[in-house]
Structure 1
Amino acid sequence: MDLDRHPLAHLRRQHHWSMNDLASLIRAEARRRGLRSGVDRNRIWLWETGRTTPSEESQSLLADVLGIPDADLRRLGWPGWLPAFETPALFSPSGSRAVLREVQVTRMDRRSFLVLSSSALVEMAADWARIEPRHLDQALGGRSVDEELLQWLEQRSGELRALATGPHPQVSGLIDAHLNTTVDLIAQDRYTAAAGRRLHAVAAELAHCAAWQRFDADRHADAQCHWQAAVHAAHQAGDRDLAAVALSDLAYQATWLSRPADAVRALGHARSRTRTPAARSLLDVRLARACAVLQDTQGTQRALASAENELERIRPQETPPVVSWMSMADVNADAGRCWLDLGDPDRAAAAIDAGLGELQPRRSRTKAVFLTYRAEGALHGRDASAAAADARAALDTALESGAARCVDLVSSLISRLDDRTEQPMVELREYARERLAT
């Protein structure tokens, strides 16, 4: 499927414009103003691939073509002002229902850019941090959802969450089916206030699982949509930790897709209302990752120290399921990625080794990612044999997990080794070609 990797490409597709068509429209708008513009097809391509940013004059001309006021250009910046992003819904019962309904829509989404702009992501995190859930003060008409159905939905969502951590490709469809059923029940308004909170809690948990299924499949816009739904549903359920974790997942995605500054800002809001040490530890680790990409050594060290301190305060009986997996293995291995980003491969290797040694065997996707990081660290240390062995293990683990995101990560590392002539690297490339061809 042909993907629109930039919002401008998505808008062109909507209007049935080629790059030449859009360039002609911009030049025509310039002539209307008595100006001359050198925008051509190649310039449009440079904008859409992120190689250059349009000048203020070119953005103004493009805005006129699209009917966008100049004030939006200054307020939102490029490319946030392009009318291809979604506007975050209000944190209210009606707003949350609209977001939950959105995850039920079946559509061929050709967008692979994120549907929330940088400002919108941070705005949503800030809104959630300051707005308390509105309690449903009375039963909402009609026949109430009974206790037996509620218990069944809660039990099934817990079972599906456990299955989603392993290599079970069929679980994605089950999660979607149960999420759709829960959203339908919420929309029918046939429950008491207490039952409504429980229904929203189930919807939040399922939407959160569905988001990770899509993130692992490299379906980033769809993942973002589901994480946004999880934040809203958790908000209506009064589950602060689940909402904060879903916001931190959006931040992690932003870092993964080279938007670490957005992650830092969103995580600041998300952490402000967490309730348990495990949730705070997770958010601290993700903050450390974003700070490391930004080359903020002090910020990285503070965040990692805080993550360890919070981890020591964890009480298993008080830790919600959404972060029950959080452990020193995650802190160590993610710290290793941080030290790699900050140019300290020896410290990175020690941390990743510790993390892999403590990681639960069932967490295959996490293992694939950490093995890829260790392979990258071995390359920094010029140990071709170790790098090749870890890259091979990472590829096997990623393929077994079925997570396209993990396969892409290790494949990208191997593709950067094309100019290496050492025998382990030659054998690794041949092995990768055979494995990826099957």
Structure 2
Amino acid sequence: MNDLARLIRAEARRRGLRSGVDRNRLWLWEAGRAAPSEESQSLLAAVLGVPDTSIGRLGWPGWLPAFEQPAPFSPSGSRAALREVQVTRMDRRSFLVLSSSALVEMAADWARIEPRHLEQALGGQSIDEELLQWLEQRSGELRALAAGPHRQASGLIDAHLSTTIDLITQGRYTAATGRRLHAVAADLAHCAAWLRFDADRHADAQRHWQAAVHAAHQAGDRDLAAVALSDLAYQATWLSRPTEAVQALEHARSRTRTPAARSLLDVRLARACAVLQDRQGTQRALASAETELERMRPQETPPMVSWMSMADVNADAGRCWLDLGDPHRAAAAIDAGLSALQPRRSRTKAVFLTYRAEGSLHTQDASATAADARAALDTALESGAARCIDLVSALIHRLDGRAEQPIAELREYAQERLAA
């Protein structure tokens, strides 16, 4: 985001203009909470290499670059999706890569097709069992590392993922080994996608989630593929595109195997329904999430959803009630979620503290709003997640013009922390 803002300001200077575009404004555009002016769109188009004529013809945001055709769910298509995340490039498309129809098409396509189990062995010498076990163990260690505030995790995961993709594309393994290699690649791509999402690198996150879906499909891991699809849907809801999120989640849920995975997908469906003001759909999805969670058995739960708990259901339910205009019910749910949340999940905590601050804002409680926003900002900065920092910064920006002392002190505190 910072790089894109810098390029836009540089383009403005080249034209003899001044632009105040920064990462917060880009986030508002991307989240659908504001639209850029014609001048800003022209500057952005120049940076992205899009002709000015497309702006008037297609309108905002239709002229933004997008990949319209996801790779097919075949061994060659999945290898292409995996290779896509190895390409080193400047991510000019900080905005979404998948259009609404493409995301839903991808989810529907995956729901229809059974894994091919690499039916035709690619031949060659089998990968050594010791190396394969090391890859699998290392993948689990890196997943645990990525859950905390370890900033070196991203580089380690990228390197490990790249090595695994190289092994896959060389094709020197049996069908059984191929499935295990794809499982490692899916796990790592899934972790890498979340780290990019938290860094506001949405296009790059999408590429990695797509790669995770493909690799999980080739590994025969329905739950991981469904969870990665639900992550794409969650991102769509986060960026104010809830309709396609609902459709994608319905396809993804059709092939889940474990209660924990279904509970996660139900929570994300509830979030999308709430944004769409579908109260019945929200309540139905939240009730299903609780029921599935009660059926969860630790020994049967895949690692990528082992963190799922009532804390997540409650806190996400709070966001739903906020969207549905019930701040008091939202506060009770978010409080319950935060009290039970694991301390190491700082990114999740920052998001839900921001939501609680927003709820206090609805009830006109300036002191509670300021206290929660300050705590959210501290937690977000500690986590280093740009997505969380942007979320709380946008909330504080909405308080401009409020004269209450707690709000004024919050603004001063935020300016100092963000400038440090």
The interval holding the TM-score normalised by the smaller chain is 0.7 to 0.9
Query: Taking every aligned residue pair, what percent have the same amino acid on both sides?
Result: 84
Give the match for residue 170 of structure 1.
152
Tell me if structure 1 keeps the 8 A contact 2:148–2:344. Answer: yes
Measure, in 2, the Cα distance between the counterparts of 1:146 and 1:339: 52
Tell me if structure 1 keeps the 8 A contact 2:154–2:192. Answer: yes
Per the alignment, do residues 343 and 82 of structure 1 end up closer, same or farther by CA in structure 2, a change over 3 Å counting?
closer
- 1:431 has 2:419 as partner: no
- Secondary structure of the residue aligned to 1:295 is coil
Alignment equivalent of 1:190, drawn from 169, 172, 185: 172
Runs of 4+ with deviation above 4 angstroms: 42-49, 58-63, 77-83
Q: Once the 2 structures are TM-superposed, how far is the Cα of residue 284 of structure 1 from its aligned partner?
A: 0.4
Matching residue's letter, 1:410: V
Give the match for residue 159 of structure 1.
141
Residues paired across the two proteins, number? 386
Map Cα deviations across residues 299-355 of structure 1 (whole Å, 9 max, x no partner). Answer: 100000110110111011000001000000000000000000000000000000000
Map Cα deviations across residues 357-389 of structure 1 (whole Å, 9 max, x no partner). Answer: 110011000000010001111111111111111
- 1:236 has 2:218 as partner: yes
Measure, in 2, the Cα distance between the counterparts of 1:289 and 1:125: 18
Map Cα deviations across residues 164-210 of structure 1 (whole Å, 9 max, x no partner). Answer: 01100001000000000000000011111110000000000000000
Alignment equivalent of 2:240, drawn from 252, 258, 271: 258
Give the match for residue 4 of structure 2.
3
Tell me if structure 1 keeps the 8 A contact 2:198–2:387. Answer: yes
Measure, in 2, the Cα distance between the counterparts of 1:341 and 1:60: 32
Give the match for residue 386 of structure 2.
404
Measure, in 2, the Cα distance between the counterparts of 1:288 and 1:136: 36
Measure, in 2, the Cα distance between the counterparts of 1:60 and 1:116: 19
Map Cα deviations across residues 241-300 of structure 1 (whole Å, 9 max, x no partner). Answer: 000000000000000000000100100100000000000000000000000001111110
Tell me if structure 2 keeps the 8 A contact 1:80–1:118. Answer: no
Give the match for residue 30 of structure 1.
none
Give the match for residue 110 of structure 2.
128
Give the match for residue 212 of structure 1.
194
Measure, in 2, the Cα distance between the counterparts of 1:133 and 1:356: 39
Per the alignment, do residues 297 and 61 of structure 1 end up closer, same or farther by CA in structure 2, a change over 3 Å counting?
closer
Give the match for residue 24 of structure 1.
none
Tell me if structure 2 keeps the 8 A contact 1:207–1:227. Answer: yes
Give the match for residue 283 of structure 2.
301
Tell me if structure 2 keeps the 8 A contact 1:80–1:117. Answer: no
Matching residue's letter, 1:192: T
Per the alignment, do residues 83 and 347 of structure 1 end up closer, same or farther by CA in structure 2, a change over 3 Å counting?
closer
Tell me if structure 2 keeps the 8 A contact 1:179–1:203. Answer: yes
Q: Once the 2 structures are TM-superposed, how far is the Cα of residue 133 of structure 1 from its aligned partner?
A: 1.0
Give the match for residue 347 of structure 1.
329
Per the alignment, do residues 392 and 60 of structure 1 end up closer, same or farther by CA in structure 2, a change over 3 Å counting?
closer
Give the match for residue 388 of structure 1.
370
Give the match for residue 249 of structure 1.
231
- 1:322 has 2:304 as partner: yes
Bigger radius of gyration among the two: 1
Q: Once the 2 structures are TM-superposed, how far is the Cα of residue 141 of structure 1 from its aligned partner?
A: 2.0
Measure, in 2, the Cα distance between the counterparts of 1:393 and 1:220: 26
Query: TM-score w.r.t. structure 2 length?
Result: 0.87
- Secondary structure of the residue aligned to 1:3 is helix
Matching residue's letter, 1:237: A
Measure, in 1, the Cα distance between the counterparts of 2:393 and 2:270: 25
Measure, in 2, the Cα distance between the counterparts of 1:159 and 1:233: 19
Give the match for residue 347 of structure 2.
365
Query: Where do 5+ consecutive residues of structure 1 fail to align?
Result: 19-41, 50-57, 64-76
Bigger relative contact order, structure 1 or 2 (CA pairs below 8 A, ≥6 apart): 2
- Secondary structure of the residue aligned to 1:375 is helix
Give the match for residue 105 of structure 1.
87
Matching residue's letter, 1:3: L
Give the match for residue 117 of structure 1.
99
Q: Once the 2 structures are TM-superposed, how far is the Cα of residue 84 of structure 1 from its aligned partner?
A: 3.7
Q: Once the 2 structures are TM-superposed, how far is the Cα of residue 62 of structure 1 from its aligned partner?
A: 4.4
Map Cα deviations across residues 8-57 of structure 1 (whole Å, 9 max, x no partner). Answer: x9xxx9xxxx9xxxxxxxxxxxxxxxxxxxxxxx76867999xxxxxxxx
Query: TM-score w.r.t. structure 1 length?
Result: 0.84
Per the alignment, do residues 241 and 425 of structure 1 end up closer, same or farther by CA in structure 2, a change over 3 Å counting?
same
Tell me if structure 2 keeps the 8 A contact 1:284–1:307. Answer: yes
Measure, in 1, the Cα distance between the counterparts of 2:64 and 2:395: 33
- Secondary structure of the residue aligned to 2:4 is coil
Give the match for residue 311 of structure 1.
293
Measure, in 1, the Cα distance between the counterparts of 2:395 and 2:60: 30
Give the match for residue 30 of structure 2.
none
Per the alignment, do residues 352 and 232 of structure 1 end up closer, same or farther by CA in structure 2, a change over 3 Å counting?
same
Tell me if structure 2 keeps the 8 A contact 1:203–1:233. Answer: yes
Measure, in 1, the Cα distance between the counterparts of 2:186 and 2:55: 41
Q: Once the 2 structures are TM-superposed, how far is the Cα of residue 111 of structure 1 from its aligned partner?
A: 1.1
Tell me if structure 1 keeps the 8 A contact 2:55–2:63. Answer: no
Cα RMSD after superposing both structures: 2.4
Matching residue's letter, 1:286: R
Matching residue's letter, 1:199: L
Matching residue's letter, 2:228: A
Query: Where do 5+ consecutive residues of structure 2 fail to align?
Result: 16-36, 45-52
Map Cα deviations across residues 142-169 of structure 1 (whole Å, 9 max, x no partner). Answer: 2111110110000000000001011000
Alignment equivalent of 1:200, drawn from 170, 182, 190: 182
Measure, in 2, the Cα distance between the counterparts of 1:395 and 1:48: 31
